[in-house]
Amino acid sequence: MSQSASPVKVHRHPRAGTRMTGAEMIVQILADEGTTAIFGYSGGAILPTYDAVFLYNQAQIASGGIQLPLIVPANEQGAGFMAAGYARASGRVGVCLVTSGPGATNTVTPVRDSMADSVPILVICGQVPTSAIGTDAFQEAPVPALMGAVAKHIFLVTEPEKLEATIRSAFEIARTGRPGPVVVDVPKDVQNWVGIFKGEGVLPLPGYRKRLLATERAAINLDDATEFFAMLQAAQRPLIYAGGGVINSGAARLLTEFATTFGIPVVTTLMGIGAFDTKHPLAMRMLGMHGAAFANYAVDDCDFLIAIGARFDDRVAGLPAQFAPNAKCIAHVDIDRAEINKVKRVHWSHVGRIPEALHALTTHGVAHDFKVDFSMWHAEINMLRKDHAMNYDRASELIQPYYVIEEINRQTKGEAIITTGVGQHQMWAAQYFDFSRPRLWLTSGSMGTMGFGLPAAIGAQFANPGALVIDIDGDASIRMNIGELETVTTYDLPIKVVVLNNFGDGMVRQWQKLFFKGRMSASDKSLHKKDFIKAAQADGFNFAVRLDKKSDVPRVIEEFIRYPGPAFLEVLIDTEAGVYPMVGPGQSYAGMITGDFIVGRTPATIPEAPGPSEMF
């Protein structure tokens, strides 16, 4: 006799049926979603929700529950980048809570930055009352029009009864599929509205969920796997090209299993750094415009390129026709169908979740006892690493930025969370730091937003309170959000801030020297007056040191890293230090500029100037 199935137990939200304001509903859902920090700046149109955070935390204190820390930055752009740093370091949705008008518009840059790098953040904006929308009311901004162009999705809540479902749906959209930023614009009257909290429910979103379900159900079938391994069987020099999608999808472990099972070397994009342990024998580090010479030469030499969670962007495939020129076959796995064949035609592709795809391929290969001897290729890549190793003027009496990063790396052993601003220091950090696992490398990739590093470090520290977080910044980049130094000390965060000071916009100067006959138009600006040490001290850094002697580098860096609280280190570096290798505009990897200390295969040809359509 068969046993009857037990009824499914439905867990009812403990506060379901409670009367709440819209603002209280927002805060309750933030707590339900596992939010551990809110980053934001207050203002008139968002005050009801700020008050709801205060009341929620009071109730949690009384009951011994978990509070929702509200982190106040110097401005809303900082709040947005803190939410992004939190998301990048944890994989969870970062939350930013700002007011209307300038509060919302100040988050446009971090929203676009997060969209470009597929980072899940939720920006909740206050808005003028529903009846005032469109009247040019005080601190009104057309948030749906502005954010609709740069966010994954935007909601304007004009029906209070839909607020609860909208906030839950916003979290769902931000973290599912290809992650990205979602903006919810909430008028003040909707925040003040009182209704019954249901404790459940999302918006219908039939089109989105249908596409999502199709992607999640997509599987590599027997024929697909057989075709893939036939290409791998025919290859002698296969190479994995891994991007940020591997990290976003949580597939780093499965990538390592796939690569090591079949002996396939791995290069990563800037956003893919950490997807594969940089110290692994199969690791060929970063490829692209400022990738390692040996990584780029491996791409040139490979005969089967396997792109996983990468999109052939212009920093990697600046000249698509000459990218991976010897690859007889290219395979591409990505969650976003729009990326397949967008830049480079491929021979085999799969649109679906990366972890499942990698697991399916590995399982198929093992089940069919797939074995190919790639030892000759391994010997070649080892020789590439040796012959074209990263290098610089180690005999210079001036402090070389590469040396500083090497020393920090030696002492942190590839275990620190590294954030950066944007510029030369960003590329030096990508080239010379080791990363043992994902989510240790946080940088603004596609947008290249100066000022990202410091607020992102704050978000990362809140996401990982016990971690060592180091912001590697430049003197020009840190100025963009230097007000967040005070945020670090206000919350007594043990963040370590390094400013590699070369007195100006180093990357712009490098381009001007190479391609504009040395005409330094505005690249030096007047950025020579700031005393960074006094600025850090004024903002509460008790450890604020200027390093200007090469012989002091190991000792000072050890003191800096070991300091138990917030620490600030300014390093006066060689102002002529450049970022090499460098693939010039309109050039292939074969024409890579390797500088004076990295050995290239052939002398580089430097164009007189970038063409009219060339990227920066």
The pLDDT tens digits for 305-320 are 999 999 999 999 989 9
Q: What three-state secondary structure class fits 19? A: strand
User: Taking 90 as the threshold, does the pLDDT of residue 506 lie above it?
Assistant: no
User: Taking 70 as the threshold, does the pLDDT of residue 385 lie above it?
Assistant: yes
Mean pLDDT over 232-245 rounds to 98
Give the pLDDT band of residue 587 (cuts 50, 70, 90): confident
Which residue in 457, 452, 399 sits closest to 423, CA to CA?
452
Read off the pTM.
Answer: 0.95
Helices 76-90, 108-116: crossing angle, 10 deg rounding? 20
- Identify residue 43 by its one-letter amino acid code: G
227 classed as catalytic: no
From residue 336, give the alpha-carbon distance in Å to each of 5, 222, 310, 331.
Answer: 39, 22, 10, 14
Mean pLDDT over 378-385 rounds to 98
Return the half-sphere exposure (C-beta side, CA atoms, 13 A cut-off) of residue 529. Answer: 2
Position 558 scores a pLDDT of 98
Ordered domains of the chain (ranges, CATH): 19-213 (3.40.50.970), 218-387 (3.40.50.1220), 401-572 (3.40.50.970)
568 classed as catalytic: no
Position 600 scores a pLDDT of 95
Give the helix/strand (H/E) hosting 470. strand 469-474
Q: What is the pLDDT of residues 102-145, one digit of tens each?
A: 999 999 999 999 999 999 999 999 999 999 999 999 999 999 99
Residue 302 is given by DSSP the state -
Set 188, 231, 426, 450: catalytic member: 188
- Which of 409-424 are b and which e, b meaning 16 or more Cβ less than 10 Å from the residue's Cβ? beebebebbbbbbbbb
Query: Angle at the Cα of 610 (from 608 to 611), degrees rounded to 5?
Result: 110
Set 54, 58, 138, 549: catalytic member: 138
User: Taking 70 as the threshold, does the pLDDT of residue 262 lie above it?
Assistant: yes
For 265, other C-beta atoms within 10 Å of its C-beta total 25
User: Taking 50 as the threshold, does the pLDDT of residue 23 lie above it?
Assistant: yes
507 classed as catalytic: yes
Higher pLDDT, 430 or 526: 430
Give the pLDDT band of residue 610 (cuts 50, 70, 90): low
User: Taking 50 as the threshold, does the pLDDT of residue 225 lie above it?
Assistant: yes
Q: What is the pLDDT of residues 476-500, one digit of tens each?
A: 999 999 999 999 999 999 999 999 9
Q: What is the pLDDT of residues 424-458, one digit of tens each?
A: 999 999 999 999 999 999 999 999 999 999 999 99
Higher pLDDT, 252 or 610: 252
| Interatomic CA distance for residues 13 and 195, integer angstroms | 16
Which H, E and C letters describe 428-444, residue by residue? HHHHHCCCCCCCCEECC
Give the pLDDT band of residue 1 (cuts 50, 70, 90): very low
Mean pLDDT over 190-203 rounds to 97
Position 614 scores a pLDDT of 63
Set 24, 33, 76, 407: catalytic member: 76
For residues 252 and 283, the answer to whether their CB atoms sit within 8 Å is no
Set 60, 67, 139, 537: catalytic member: 139
Q: What is the pLDDT of residues 511-523, one digit of tens each?
A: 888 878 778 887 7
Position 3 scores a pLDDT of 43
Mean pLDDT over 559-584 rounds to 96
User: Taking 80 as the threshold, does the pLDDT of residue 10 lie above it?
Assistant: no
Position 522 scores a pLDDT of 78
Query: Angle at the Cα of 443 (from 470 to 552), degrees rounded to 5?
Result: 35
Set 82, 231, 289, 507: catalytic member: 507
188 classed as catalytic: yes
Instruction: Report DSSP letters for 441-489, one per residue.
Output: EE---SS--TT-HHHHHHHHHHHSTTS-EEEEEEHHHHHTTTTHHHHHH
